Each structure stands twice: as structure tokens, then as C-alpha cells.
């Protein structure tokens, strides 16, 4: 049999349609090859924060604490939902200082440990929609969102990440969001939307207070207008720790529900990831966090997600959970972790400011890049831009609709040169 016949014999259609490798890792591989050949290659590909010398930036407090964990925490299973103290900690880390105030106004939280923030996304998709239901994304997004949706059998609807017409906010296409929510509510029993904010991947865009309130109001209105439909807003805050307002959504939610009623058919979830905040990408530590007025319901969600996790990845690793618990239960360790986090955030901010300043002097249509790891140049032919940049030893990632630049991985001394290469590449293709 040839390969095609073997595939048809062994694999169902949903498996046969899977092709190619991850575009991010593919371009990272090209950078590595160039570097190995001695080229002065600049790495703008990966979603990991690197020091200016190109080494992985790690929070030493986290590394030292990992090595001090007990044999049990290295080797034993964690409970299916996660270690109890970690679950509470995940809610505190992702919701922030407003958690107590949100509890005071009658809102309850719960969490389930997951293998990274991706696990939290998966649990929401598997638990809150049925196969064949439509999930709502913004038009620019981390490409594995699409992979996750396909794996869960969910068609995708989109609303623009920036307004295409007049809008009450420069970063919120309110009319499009409301229309998409209404269309989904008419056609299915439940609504789930993922919003990666603040420090959006791949653009670096963050909503301000007014923008967040407009988005929140759209979901509240959808829930109010369709009281028989479940409406879930999932906030993917993987990069929030590097934003100017890491807990902005919590502030907006508290402001709204300090005086307004929470519709019972409205749920907010957060995706927590320790990959960026604690620089332990490969240890796969995260959580899905729920917020709702019913304590019984968030407890039930925890049970459901734990069962789904059991049937998917068994359970989340214990060691990173115990490590975070050890850090954040010790005032001195927590303070040291925070100081190192501030250093890394300032290093990233320096790069972004240099990049944005240089790009502002050009005619390139850089999307708003406020926080986090990335910047994004929208264009019709991203592969050609990336290929031309690679000829000048800069490696970036061509995605649908534009090129992603990993400011997180470009050293401060190379940032201006990277911007110059992109400008030169753009103009050479335009000529």
C-alpha cells in the first residue's frame, strides 16, 4: 500500500486532515539552523522571554524553590482537581487583589489545575459547549486556538480585533461583537468566547478600562436578553503579569457588579498559566478559574472539569503546584519572586519602547502593541515578509494576516536592528 492507502485504512477523516508542523516551532528551527551556521541571526520567533544574551530568562526564586521540594512532591500524584492550596492560590494569582472584594459582594470562585493555560482553554471548550457548537474568537489570535477548536469539534465565529467602522472605542468593534453574540445565541443553547487580554498574543494589544467595560456589557446584555442560554466569557490572561494592568478585568468586574445584578446564566472563567509568570513553561502548570454567584455551581464545574481532565491527561503535575504554594505562602520568597518578576517586566518594556519608537518613524501598519511578549505587522503576504527578513538574519513568524515579532526573544541590543530589517523588508517588497 502507498501512504494514502495506509492512511485511509487506519485513520478516520478527522485524523487524515491533520498536516504540517507548528509554524512557530518551524521558524524557530530555521533560526536555530542559522545560528548553528555562525550567522548573526536574531530570534524573533519563540514565545519565551529570553535574556539579552539569548539565554532563557528564568526566575531564580522559582528554580531554587523547585529543587527544595520534597520527594513526595517530586514523585507523587496530585489530586485530580489539583492540590487544594494550589487551587486557592491560582484564583488569587489570576484574579488578583480584588478576589476578596468579589467574594464580599456575593461572587464565588473555584479552580481546577491544568497542564498549562492551554489545558484551561481545552476544559472550557470540552465542558461548556457541545460538539458542533460554535465558539467565538477575535480575528487575531494565537494559532493553537484553532487547533483546540478543531480537536473539540467546534466551528469558529469571529469578531474583529480592531473596529472596521466607527465604534465607541478604538479597540472594540462593539457592533460586531454584539451581532456575533446574538447570532450564536439564536442558533445554539450555549455561548463561549475566548478573549486573550491583556497583552494579547500575537499583537501585544491590551484593552483599557473603557474597552473592558464595553466587552463585559455586551456579554451581560446577551445573557440578560437570552435568560435560557448559558453565556461564558473566558479570559485568557496568560501574559497578564507583564501588562500595566495585570488585574484590569477583576477591577472592571468588581466595578460593574458592586451595583449591578449578575445574571445567573452568565459565567466568567480565567485561564491561569505559570509558564510566563513563574518562567516554568515546560512544567505545564495552570488552572481554569470560575467566578459565579452560585457556590454550588462553581463546585460542580470543578467536578466536571476534573473528570474531563482525568479522561484527557489524567491529572496536572504536582511539583509545580507545590512550588508555587511554597513561594506564595512565604513572605520573603514571595517578595523575592516579585522583585525578579519586576526586573523581567522592565527588560521587556525597554525592548517594546525601543521597537515602537523605531516603527513609529516608518509607514508600516503596526497594530497597537501595549504589553506582553509580541508585536504584529498586518499584511497580505506575511510569508514573503518573513522570508525577506530572514535574508537579513531576522527570524519572525508569518501567521494568517500578518507577521508576529517576538519582542520577548530579541535582545535589547538587537531590537532597533530588528525593526530596521522589517522596515527594509516591507519597502523592498512594496517597490
pLDDT digits (tens, 9 = 90+) for 299-348: 999 999 999 999 999 999 999 999 999 999 999 999 999 999 999 999 99
pLDDT higher than threshold 90 for residue 12: no
C-alpha cell at 427: 519597502
* Mean per-residue pLDDT, 192-205: 97
Give the pLDDT band (50/70/90) at residue 284: very high
Question: How many CB atoms within 10 Å of residue 365?
Answer: 12
H runs (alpha helix) in 286-431: 295-310, 318-328, 331-360, 382-391, 412-430
pLDDT value at residue 16: 79
Domains of the chain: 3-58+338-430 (3.90.1150.10), 79-316 (3.40.640.10)
* Higher pLDDT among residues 34 and 1, named by residue: 34
Q: How far apart are CA 312 and CA 115, in angstroms?
A: 11
pLDDT higher than threshold 80 for residue 363: yes
Give the pLDDT band (50/70/90) at residue 154: very high
Classify 126 as helix, strand or coil. helix
Q: Give me the residue label for grid cell 525593526.
A: 419
* Higher pLDDT among residues 253 and 10, named by residue: 253
Instruction: Residue 39: name the closest of 414, 394, 416, 387 by CA.
Output: 394
CA triple 78-83-85, angle to 5 deg: 160
Classify 157 as helix, strand or coil. strand
pLDDT higher than threshold 80 for residue 122: yes
Q: How far apart are CA 217 and CA 316, in angstroms?
A: 34
* Mean per-residue pLDDT, 255-279: 95
- What is the four-CA torsion angle of 25, 246, 85, 117, rounded to 10 degrees? -20
Instruction: Residue 86: name the closest of 282, 235, 288, 236 by CA.
Output: 288
pLDDT higher than threshold 90 for residue 6: no
Give the pLDDT band (50/70/90) at residue 8: confident
Convert the pLDDT of each residue in 380-422 to its tens digit: 999 999 999 999 999 999 999 999 999 999 999 999 999 999 9
- Characterize 5-33 residue by residue with b for buried, 16 or more Cβ atoms within 10 angstroms of its Cβ, and e for exposed: eeeeeeeeeeeeeeeeeebbeebbeebee
Q: How far apart are CA 119 and CA 139, in angstroms?
A: 22
Q: How far apart are CA 343 and CA 97, in angstroms?
A: 21
pTM of the model: 0.95
Give the pLDDT band (50/70/90) at residue 431: low
- Which residues share a beta bridge with 402? 378, 399
Amino acid at each position: 500500500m502507498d501512504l494514502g492507502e495506509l492512511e485511509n485504512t487506519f485513520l478516520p477523516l478527522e485524523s487524515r486532515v491533520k498536516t504540517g508542523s507548528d509554524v512557530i516551532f518551524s521558524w524557530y528551527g530555521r533560526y536555530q539552523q542559522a545560528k548553528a551556521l555562525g550567522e548573526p541571526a536574531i530570534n524573533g520567533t519563540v514565545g519565551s522571554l529570553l535574556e539579552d544574551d539569548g539565554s532563557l530568562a528564568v526566575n531564580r526564586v522559582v528554580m531554587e524553590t523547585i529543587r527544595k521540594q520534597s520527594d513526595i512532591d517530586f514523585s507523587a500524584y496530585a489530586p485530580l482537581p489539583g492540590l487544594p492550596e494550589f487551587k486557592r492560590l491560582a484564583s488569587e494569582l489570576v484574579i488578583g487583589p480584588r478576589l476578596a472584594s468579589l467574594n464580599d459582594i456575593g461572587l464565588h470562585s473555584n479552580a481546577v489545575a491544568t497542564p498549562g493555560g492551554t489545558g484551561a482553554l481545552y476544559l472550557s471548550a470540552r465542558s461548556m459547549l457541545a460538539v458542533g457548537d460554535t465558539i467565538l474568537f477575535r480575528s487575531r489570535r494565537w494559532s493553537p486556538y484553532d487547533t483546540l477548536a478543531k480537536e473539540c469539534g467546534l466551528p469558529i465565529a469571529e469578531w474583529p480585533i480592531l473596529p472596521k467602522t466607527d465604534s465607541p472605542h478604538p479597540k472594540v468593534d462593539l457592533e460586531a461583537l454584539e451581532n456575533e453574540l446574538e447570532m450564536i445565541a439564536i442558533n445554539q443553547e450555549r455561548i463561549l468566547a475566548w478573549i486573550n487580554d491583556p497583552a494579547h498574543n500575537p499583537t501585544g494589544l491590551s484593552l483599557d478600562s473603557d474597552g473592558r467595560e464595553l466587552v463585559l456589557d455586551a456579554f451581560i446584555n446577551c445573557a440578560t436578553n437570552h435568560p435560557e442560554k448559558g453565556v461564558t466569557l473566558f479570559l485568557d490572561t496568560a501574559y497578564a503579569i507583564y501588562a500595566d494592568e495585570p488585574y484590569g478585568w477583576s477591577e472592571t468586574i468588581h466595578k460593574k457588579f458592586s451595583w449591578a445584578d449578575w445574571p445567573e446564566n452568565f459565567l466568567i472563567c480565567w485561564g491561569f498559566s505559570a509558564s510566563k509568570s513563574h518562567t516554568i513553561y515546560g512544567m505545564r502548570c495552570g488552572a481554569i478559574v470560575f467566578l459565579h454567584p452560585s457556590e454550588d455551581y462553581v463546585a460542580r464545574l470543578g467536578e466536571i472539569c476534573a473528570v474531563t481532565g482525568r479522561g484527557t491527561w489524567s491529572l496536572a503535575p504536582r511539583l509545580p503546584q507545590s512550588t508555587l504554594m511554597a513561594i506564595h505562602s512565604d513572605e520573603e520568597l514571595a517578595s523575592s519572586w516579585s522583585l525578579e518578576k519586576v526586573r523581567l517586566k522592565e527588560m521587556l518594556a525597554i525592548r517594546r519602547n525601543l521597537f515602537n519608537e523605531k516603527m513609529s518613524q516608518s509607514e508600516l501598519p503596526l497594530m497597537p502593541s501595549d504589553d506582553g511578549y509580541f508585536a504584529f505587522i498586518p499584511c497580505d503576504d506575511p510569508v514573503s515578509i518573513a522570508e525577506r527578513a530572514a535574508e537579513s538574519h531576522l527570524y519572525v513568524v508569518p501567521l494568517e494576516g500578518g507577521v508576529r515579532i517576538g519582542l520577548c526573544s530579541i535582545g535589547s541590543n538587537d531590537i532597533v536592528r530588528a525593526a530596521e530589517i522589517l522596515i527594509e523588508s516591507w519597502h523592498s517588497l512594496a517597490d
